[in-house]
Amino acid sequence: MNDYDKQKQNNEQKYLETLSKADPELYLIKMALIETGLNPMILPKIIRSISNLIIGSGYGKVQIFMQARTITQIKGEESVQVDEKASVE
């Protein structure tokens, strides 16, 4: 390992240590991204889909569609909570 790689690794370790103290929740997300190799650019889209459901009715689902290891859609589908019998007796 050359000096540049050593310095880079040292800087990354210091960054993660600082992040774990400054923002533990963000640190957990960062560690999950590192461990899984997941593309971080998809997370804001998932978060926005969930937020849109919260702003709307507060009910629904978020679906993630994938083909050949490529995410093709993130679809938030809102629904209405109904606790009614289907038929009137």
In this prediction, residue 87 carries a pLDDT of 87
79-88 contacts, C-beta under 8 A, 24 or more apart: 81/57
Same domain membership, residue 27 and residue 45? no
21 pLDDT above the threshold of 90: yes
pTM of the predicted structure, to 2 decimals: 0.78
Q: Is 86 inside any structural domain?
A: no
User: Residue 58 burial by CB count (10 A; 0-12/13-18/19+): exposed, middle or buried?
Assistant: exposed
The pLDDT of 46-72, averaged and rounded, is 95
47 pLDDT above the threshold of 90: yes
Give the total number of structural domains in the chain.
Answer: 2
The pLDDT of 68-72, averaged and rounded, is 97
The pLDDT of 15-25, averaged and rounded, is 97
Sign of the C-alpha dihedral, residues 43, 46, 48, 54?
negative
Boundaries of domain holding 21: 1-38
